[in-house]
Structure 1
Amino acid sequence: MSFNHIDPATLRLWLDEQRPLTLVDIRDPFSFESGHIPGSRHLDNTSVGDFVDRAAPEQPVVVVCYHGHSSQQAAGWLAGQGFQEVYSLDGGFTDWQYRHPEHVASRNGGGQGSS
């Protein structure tokens, strides 16, 4: 099974169109809490089993990491678990935050965090 790449502009369009998709962020918990794409869920070794068991395999999954490198490995793994349409966000959250600072959420309500 393989995965696809998605650029920030396309993901932004899909989110604006409210396309059904699942956003997963594999960065460390502190980074996720400090800022993430709205609607994304944190995914790590502890939560991935539950995610695989409960998520709809036919719904597109977009994997977000720091710079778009480790998300490729995670996306390939998820595709191997039976998810039919898996994407790795090119440039990762770092590029997303640079291009779309108005579309960054945080747990502390602080908005974009520091650059």
Structure 2
Amino acid sequence: MSFSHLDHDTLSQWQDNGTAHEVVDIRDPMSFSQGHIPGSYHLDNTSVGDFVERTPQDSTVVVVCYHGHSSQQAALWLAGQGFAKVYSLEGGFTHWQHHHPEQVVRDEGAGPQ
């Protein structure tokens, strides 16, 4: 059981061409609300059980954190839960936001970015 690394250009292509994947963001709630990858799911200790329960094990799962470090631990844990295709986004959300500013959404009422 392991995970792979995914570069931001590949994820951007998946987002653009509709390749099936789940993006889970493990950053703190405030950071998530202030900006995240479209369609991503905020994953924390409260929501992880629901995610594991409702997500098919053959789903492609991409884990996002701030800089691509803690997402590796989370990706390894998800692989251990039986998910076959788990990726850690290289460079994390910080890198994504810098290279793909048009592919960042924020929650309403989250304040200025």
What TM-score do you get using the length of structure 2 for normalisation? 0.96
- Structure 1, residues 11-48: CA drift from partner, whole Å, max 9, x if none? 00111110111000000000000000000010000110
Work out whether 1:12 is the aligned partner of 2:31: no
Letter in 1 for 2:40: S
**Count of residue correspondences:** 113
What TM-score do you get using the length of structure 1 for normalisation? 0.94
Q: What is the distance in 1 between the residues matched to 2:59 and 2:46?
A: 22
Same amino acid, percent of matched pairs: 64
Partner of 1:66: 66
Letter in 1 for 2:36: H
- Structure 1, residues 48-96: CA drift from partner, whole Å, max 9, x if none? 0111111111010000000000000000000000001000000000000
Runs of 4+ in 1 over 4 A off after TM superposition: none
Gaps of 5+ in 2: none
Work out whether 1:94 is the aligned partner of 2:91: no
Q: What is the distance in 1 between the residues matched to 2:44 and 2:79?
A: 16
Superposition deviation, residue 108 in structure 1: 2.2
When the two chains are superposed, the root-mean-square deviation of aligned CA atoms in Å is 1.5
